[in-house]
Amino acid sequence: MPADPRTSEATMDAASLYREEIVTDRKVGTIRLMVPVKSDGSPDATRPTIYTGDAQIMTNMGALPVSFDIEASNLAEAVANYGAAAKVGIERTMRELQELRRQQSSGLIVPPAGAASALAGGGFPGGGKIQMP
């Protein structure tokens, strides 16, 4: 019988370790550098550094964090590409929000047929399944 995944121990993949570094201009946003490292903590030059951007957009519910990947081979390139990547990330987030709103609005409860006439004084109150002959 297979082990229950909820009770198994969490194990990290020693071949996929990254050190996280944060760079910010304290005005527009933040860039996270995911620097690949070996299991002994030394840099792993065989894998590329991953650059991700963080920003916030203001909504009527408050600030909404947005994360996005930045295509770059070094930090200077990541800084230069930040604006374009942020635009794509924000547009993606807005589409996702619109889809969530659409799903939420389509979940409206529709009353059964005849319920409106029962409320207006016609028909039997209660709307149960028992019908009089």
- HEC string for 34-81: EEEECCCCCECCCCCCEEEEEEEEEECCEEEEEEEEECCCCHHHHHHH
- Match 């942020």 to its residue by tokens: 86
pTM: 0.67
| pLDDT per position as a tens digit, 76-122 | 999 999 999 999 999 999 999 889 888 888 765 656 666 655 555 55
pLDDT at position 117: 59
Whether 18 and 35 have beta carbons less than 8 Å apart is answered as yes
The domain locations on the chain are 14-89
Which residue did the predictor score with more confidence, 23 or 115? 23
Q: What percent of the chain has pLDDT over 70?
A: 74
Whether 31 and 49 have beta carbons less than 8 Å apart is answered as no
Which residue did the predictor score with more confidence, 66 or 124? 66
pLDDT at position 114: 65
Tell me how far CA of residue 109 lies from CA of 19, 54, 75, 98, 112, in angstroms. Answer: 49, 38, 51, 20, 9
Please give, one letter per residue, the 3-state secondary structure of 105-124: HCCCCCCCCCHHHHHCCCCC
pLDDT at position 73: 96
Mean residue pLDDT of the chain comes to 84
- 34-46 average pLDDT score: 95
- pLDDT range class, residue 28, cuts 50, 70, 90: confident
